[in-house]
Chains A and B, each alone.
Chain A
């Protein structure tokens, strides 16, 4: 008898009629759900993470996983989750840790925004036959250009600041070596190089194997400063200061000592087996002036040749902070919405802190335009972009480009099972166990990510073409091409979007 007992959530059933006893399920399940017992497979469903690895590898289609319904007395307030979290914490006295992004049923604003299309009075464009520009430049743009000379003999007097050139406005988000496997990072690296876009290194230094891809990598400087040295900063297309993360705004991170193996310790430049603790704030940044000092320190260290981005979590004052970032010599603000993913975050923060990315993009873009400094800084949005329509809407709300994290992982097999923090990812993604990592072939992983981003870019072109827009520049911040469907007046106001029918 256990008064804090939580019923098992799933049933795992192996159909004995179909099962050939090949034991692939036993080999593939890293959570220990299956065991061979003489002429049958025994299951231990309480270990199941619903990652589908067994199902994908069963040659006989013998395995089914279903939700195991154990009826509680129904109550609108005291739902299963509320009760089970209490049982868990009454037993352990600890903070609940969860993987992946926000798991609460907040209404999704993207799903209540619709895009426009042209007909009759203005022509739509067919992207298959006509040029469609998806190239984006991230970084500062001069307010005006000064030239000298006359006639055909003119020369540019304005000094331009370095920009990043993206062939598509989609980049792969920062996921550190440690949080994900090297094969995951290699897959991203190959894909972004093929596509002419970029990936983030995450905070964990840069593994040697990624050096050949340095021109497509944005390196991260976070509060732990792991792996940060002059060569790390110079071996990058751009540098990103991480001040916040959408999945856990306001707190730092830590990679538990168990995950800090020899290779990770070398890349992060820290002793094996110790916790890699990134404090909540950067302790040399307590103000916008301090931020400017770090931005400039990084630029000085790289001879003012690299753009410097600043990543923040989307919270109430994101727009005001972004305006500060624009004045701190930064080249882009990365804003991560409350649906952003993570390997591990306290559930209470993941599910309750921060604001939706849609509102954050709109308010930041608005604030920067009102202050006349929109040209000073690009806006990169991230946090829960599920498809090409989400990102198209994000751009129409004011973003220059987006980062996708979870979607890129899903492209490689991730089932969003949310058990990243166990380090047992059977798909070879969020793990450092050699046998599991080797399950992810970087060539195949790269192809799948490349396929996804190619398909999304094509769909983006279709959506633009339908709206009669042939350049991403004309889509950016073009809120007139959005309408709100059943959004309340306050949100429409924040988004600066009209209602459907208007």
Chain B
């Protein structure tokens, strides 16, 4: 990568504010390819950056809120990501070549997140879609409990590779929009309030297949949709909490 608009930043010995300031200043200077080495839990990388051509490669463990509020950039993490990557992100792509922590894609409203391995609790919580903004999360391994809680739009795919149980309990609690696809069986007892299983149609198959192709491309894997059986989970209602109230006299 010897472009004149490329830059390498060493995070070693820097706190997150110094590192992120350096990244922001590079972006303002017109740098489009940034490689950050020796990342050791530095938080907020690419937080709030609005730029559609920017690419950031991170070597190490990305800290919390990676790409929070971000609008456009592509981030490739060669390592794991901590708490809430893609928090409230508007658009862009985050690819994690490892595992990620809790709340991946919290309130995300656009863009894509690919995690090669597994993720923690409450992933995709309150994800929402709006017009052309449509968020997608693809998880190669398993997701823990409360996946897609309060989900209001977008797609979550769990491929369940190399694990005994693809999802934890309370899947889609309070879900009122969007779709969760899980490779494997989801026990009825693991479904949250307002979530229900729907038929996996040919149309769903096309959507998931395209996302698996993208996953394979990012991680040089060769997962085939033909080897997987998907459970599709959607809201039982767009208005899970209507009909709850009477009014004061």
Contact = CB atoms under 8 A, between A and B. Distances in A.
Interface of A: 6, 9, 84-85, 88-89, 91-92, 94-99, 223-225, 228-231, 233, 254, 256-257, 265, 269-271, 273-275, 277, 279, 283-284, 290, 293-294, 296-298, 300-304, 346-347, 418, 421-422
Given A254-B241, A300-B20, 20 more contacts: A88-B246, A89-B246, A94-B245, A94-B246, A229-B71, A230-B49, A230-B71, A269-B128, A270-B153, A271-B129, A271-B152, A273-B238, A274-B152, A275-B238, A277-B150, A279-B174, A283-B106, A283-B125, A283-B126, A347-B248
A269 B68 contact: no
Nearest to B174: A277
B13 interface: no
Contacts of A256: 239, 242
Interface in B183-234: none
B239 A233 contact: no
A95 B107 contact: no
B48 A284 contact: no
B176 interface: yes
Contact of A229 (B83, B90, B153, B176): B90
B133 A269 contact: yes
A233 B48 contact: yes
A275 B246 contact: no
Query: Of residues A9, A256, A270, A421, which shows the largest number of chain B Cβ atoms within 10 Å of its Cβ?
Result: A270
Interface of B: 16-17, 20, 24, 43-44, 47-50, 64-65, 68-71, 83-84, 87-88, 90, 103, 106-107, 109, 122, 125-126, 128-130, 133, 149-150, 152-153, 174, 176-177, 238-249
A231 B91 CA distance: 13
A225 B107 contact: yes
5 contacts: A85-B249, A224-B126, A228-B88, A279-B150, A300-B17
Contacts of A297: 43-44, 47, 64-65, 68-69, 87
B130 A97 contact: no
Ranked nearest first, the 9 interchain pairs of A and B with the lowest CB-CB distance are A301-B48, A225-B107, A98-B248, A94-B246, A97-B245, A92-B246, A300-B47, A300-B44, A269-B130
A216 B50 CA distance: 24
A230 B91 CA distance: 11
Contact of A284 (B44, B84, B248): B84
Contacts of B130: 265, 269-271
A301 B69 contact: yes
B41 to A, nearest CB: 12
A289 to B, nearest CB: 10
Given A284-B106, A297-B47, A95 B241 contact: no
B115 to A, nearest CB: 17
Nearest to B68: A297
A217 B130 CA distance: 25
Nearest to A226: B128
A298 B65 CA distance: 10
Nearest to B248: A98
B85 to A, nearest CB: 11
Nearest to A232: B69
